[in-house]
Amino acid sequence: MPASLRRRTLLALGAGALAAPLMPRAALAADPLEITWDDLVPPGTPWPEIAGQGVYDEVNDIWRPEWDENGLKMNTAYDGKLIRMPGYIIPMVSDSSGVTEFILVPYVGACIHVPPPPPNQLVYVTTQEPWGSDDMWTAIWVTGLMEMEARSTEIAEIGYRLTAQQIEEYQW
């Protein structure tokens, strides 16, 4: 290989190596994995059950039940992966431009009209670009980087975090 070609090849490889850490992790990934709510429960784990009364907030009419150990088990297969999943929003942080943080839930009214699902069935979503609607009745798709991250809110205990790259209305 001629010296000039070798030099250009090394420069290109070096530039790529330097730029890679600056790229978002998800940008390095292929297409997102499309997952369902059942996928968030580790394979072979029985469905969680309510194990105790938990906490009832009379002022806000919110019941946070105590779940058995199966509700606390997370599926590590999706940690650090680019995923796409459907759900409904429970707004947590919003302003006039839209919602920037919300809990993604598997069914309409979860956490509001009925007790919250177990932690391994709740995803805390953050987004740089506000989602223009706080309509809890509209199903959406969220694509982004999934991470296992326990979080406690006034509404529920949450097991996953998703940094959204794209949010779109679910088309039936």
Residue by residue, pLDDT tens for the chain (172 residues) are 555 545 544 444 444 444 444 445 444 457 999 999 999 999 999 999 888 878 777 877 778 888 999 999 999 999 999 999 999 999 999 999 999 999 999 999 888 777 899 999 999 999 999 999 877 789 999 999 999 999 999 889 999 999 999 999 999 8
- Given CA atoms 20, 21, 22, 28 in this order, what sign does their dihedral have? positive
pLDDT of 11 reads 44
Q: Residues, the chain, total?
A: 172
Burial class (CB in 10 A: 0-12, 13-18, 19+), 153: middle
State the DSSP string of 25-94: GGGGS-SPEE--GGGGSPTTPPPP-EEEEEEEETTTTEEEEEE-GGGG---GGGTTEEEEEEEEEEEEEE
Sequence spans of domains, the chain? 25-169
pLDDT of 17 reads 45
Q: For residue 136, what are the CA distances in angstroms to 47, 111, 153?
A: 25, 11, 18
pLDDT of 65 reads 84
pLDDT of 114 reads 79
Decide if 49 contacts 70 (C-beta within 8 A): yes
pLDDT of 10 reads 44
pLDDT of 58 reads 80
Q: For residue 54, what are the CA distances in angstroms to 64, 104, 105, 149?
A: 6, 22, 20, 21
- Closest by CA to 122, choosing from 46, 71, 62, is 71
If you classify domain 25-169 with CATH, what class do you get? mainly beta
- Cα-to-chain-centroid distance, residue 96: 23
- Closest by CA to 119, choosing from 166, 75, 67, is 67
Whole-model pTM: value is 0.79
The residue whose two tokens read 């406690």 is 152
The residue whose two tokens read 């999706």 is 78
Both structure tokens of 159: 């097991």
